[in-house]
Amino acid sequence: MKLFSFPAAALEKAIHKRILTLPSPHREWFAERWQQKPYKKSFVQNKAMPLVTLVAKGKTWDDETFAQGLAEWDVSFHEAEAEVLRPLIKGDGLIQLMQKNLPAERAQALLERLATRRPGSAPAAAAD
């Protein structure tokens, strides 16, 4: 899904900043992988950038287009990855202005999407 061009360097900087505030053991798990260039590139391209696109475009897309974009984003998340990305939806940091008018139900749909786990990973926490 390449519908929005957001500077990858700014996104990487925001992710790195978020790593510093992650609780243990998420910080260790994510930081170890973040140091690996293939993982970092894949995470930004396949998980973080599509999320930013859905947040940015989710304000103006009709329901059908948003649902289609969400369905096309076919990835699963480790709990630590969800912890890194959750603030991008909730209005924290880097893309605060983009989140400003995001309808609550679409933000909730994105948060629920982050709950999609890889097979064999720990179950998501029941409450946020």
In the prediction, which pLDDT does 31 show?
92
In the prediction, which pLDDT does 41 show?
92
Question: Residue 1: inside a domain, yes or no?
Answer: no
In the prediction, which pLDDT does 27 show?
92
Question: Residue 124: inside a domain, yes or no?
Answer: no
In the prediction, which pLDDT does 89 show?
80
Question: Residue 127: inside a domain, yes or no?
Answer: no
Question: Residue 19: inside a domain, yes or no?
Answer: yes
Question: Residue 46: inside a domain, yes or no?
Answer: yes
Helices 104-114 and 63-72 cross at an angle (nearest 10°) of: 10
24 burial (CB, 10 Å; 0-12 / 13-18 / 19+) is: exposed
Question: Residue 3: inside a domain, yes or no?
Answer: no
Count of structural domains, the chain: 1
Could you list the residue range(s) of the whole structural domain that residue 73 is in?
A: 8-114
Pair 109, 71: CB distance under 8 Å: no
Question: Residue 21: inside a domain, yes or no?
Answer: yes
Question: Residue 73: inside a domain, yes or no?
Answer: yes
> What are the per-10-residue average pLDDT scores of the chain (128 residues)?
63 86 90 93 91 83 89 89 85 56 81 74 41
Q: What tokens were used for 126?
A: 């029941």
